[in-house]
Structure 1
Amino acid sequence: MRVVIAEDSALLREGLVRLLAEEGHEVVASVGDAPSLLKAVRESAPDVAVVDVRMPPSHTSEGLQAAVQLRRELPDMGVLVLSQYVEREYATQLYMENSEGVGYLLKDRVGQVGEFLDALERVAAGGAAFDPQVVRHLIAGGQRRDPLESLTPRERDIIELMAQGHTNAAISARLHISQSAVEKHVNAIFDKLHLGDTAGYSRRILTVLHYIGA
């Protein structure tokens, strides 16, 4: 395989270069920042790029953003992300736009050299290689639900009346239930909306704002 390595840690970068060379692969470039990654891939058109997520200058998600950009330009090139972090937004873009030839491994969860090499070869051949923990993060992001969806019909009635400005006593009279039952429903609503006791804020107002926003 012809490989480009993008890793800002010089020690890890050189270790990967030696490892791949020993396995008979050609490292056509090894770089330490995202602009250099873009330049190296465009000049050498490798089979696969090994990319860290957080790279200079800001050490946020430059590496992964560059990988997304390169995959759009070179869809046949494999990309194996090797990082300590799961960056959900760009990882999702990387996978959803073209799921072939993509991998994402967490550095501290790669237990054996053979595991890394196998993943790299699969990605270069058009397969996929995702750490289970990364998959869980991506699935969790895709299934995030609005907490209002978990409310019961009675709780929805109560939150609507709260939004209209009614007190618990007024809600009790309108719904023909006891005031203590209203209070239990209101506390359940606070729990489902994850509104704990926060100094300086009215949970009732925050609940109404959440309802109006939804």
Structure 2
Amino acid sequence: MRIVIAEDAAVVREGLVGLLTDRDLDVVAAVGDPDALLAAVDEHRPDAVVADIRMPPTHRDEGLRAAAEIRRRHPGTGVLLFSQYIETRYADTLLADGAEGIGYLLKDRVLDVDDFVDALRRVVAGGTALDPDVVARLFAARASGAAAPRLDALTPRERETLELMASGLTNTAIAARMEISQRAVEKHVATIFDKFALPRTAQEHRRVLAVLRYLRDSPGVSTEG
């Protein structure tokens, strides 16, 4: 596995390089800012990118925006972002176009090297690696007094639709996979949103929230990195 690392703190960056090379992973570049990250990815075409969300010059969301650009230029590249803090708005943005090949971990989780490497392998394979604390905060922020609807509220076809959504497929791709019309997929998706009590708002991505619920509640589907 070939990896590019982006972290502006030199000590952390060197530590990440050491952790990964000790596991026989090939770190082809380690850089300290988003422009250098984009250049390194263009040059090396890595299997995965590991990047801090907050990077120079403003230390806000430069890493996130660089990740979005990487996914636009090189769609097959796995992207594993990390942050010192739980920032749910960044998780929403990161997953807005699908969860395939995406990871978001807290920095403390990186210290568990086995989990960290497993998360990298998962995103390279096209899966999703979400920190469980981030998932919990996303749902806690929207929790009501009533118990949240669970996956068993879905029909088998609705659950299959949600599973394919969680794999990062569009409605068109889901229709082809399930051998049904796109209109039927749209109906399944709308019903999933209704059963999960996810109202249409300008501030939230219902598709992301539905996928997060699938990742949280499905046996055998890990959100841990």
TM-score by length of 2: 0.59
Deviations 1:78-115 (A, max 9, x none): 00112212333343232121311111110124452111
For the pair 1:74 / 2:74, whether they are aligned, the reply is yes
Distance change in 2, residues 1:89/1:69 (3 Å) = farther
**Residues 96 and 32 of structure 1, relative CA distance in 2, 3 Å threshold:** same
Deviation at 1:23, TM superposition (A): 1.3
Alignment correspondent of 2:26 = 26
Aligned match of 1:175 = none
Counterpart CA distance in 1 for 2:85 and 2:68 is 16
Counterparts of 1:1-214 in structure 2, within 5 Å, are 1-110=1-110, 112-139=112-139, 143=142
SS in 2 for 1:51: strand
Give the secondary structure class of the aligned counterpart of 1:68.
Answer: helix
Aligned partners of 1:19 and 1:114: how far apart in 2? Answer: 10
Superposed CA offset, 1:134-164 (max 9, x none): 11333456x489xxxxxxxxxxxxxxxxxxx
What amino acid is the match of 2:34? A
Q: Root-mean-square deviation (CA), in Å?
A: 1.9
Instruction: State the AA in 2 paired with 1:116.
Output: F
Gaps of 5+ in 1: 146-214
In 2: Cα distance, 1:80 partner to 1:132 partner: 15
Distance in 2 separating the partners of 1:42 and 1:5:
13
1:14/1:100 CA distance change after superposition, 3 Å:
same
Unaligned runs of 5+ residues in structure 2 are 145-225
TM-aligned CA distance change 1:42 to 1:86, over 3 Å: farther
Match of 2:214?
none
Taking only the aligned residue pairs, the percentage that are identical comes to 56
Relative to 1, partners in 2 of residues 1:68 and 1:87: Cα closer, same or farther, differing over 3 Å? farther
In 2, distance between residues paired with 1:15 and 1:60? 22
Deviations 1:107-141 (A, max 9, x none): 12445211111111111111111111111333456
Q: Tell me the amino acid that sits aligned with residue 54 of structure 1.
A: R
Query: Contact 2:105 / 2:130 at 8 angstroms: preserved in 1?
Result: yes
Aligned-pair distance for 1:55? Answer: 0.7
Provide the C-alpha distance between the structure 2 equivalents of 1:14 and 1:56, rounded to a whole number of angstroms: 18
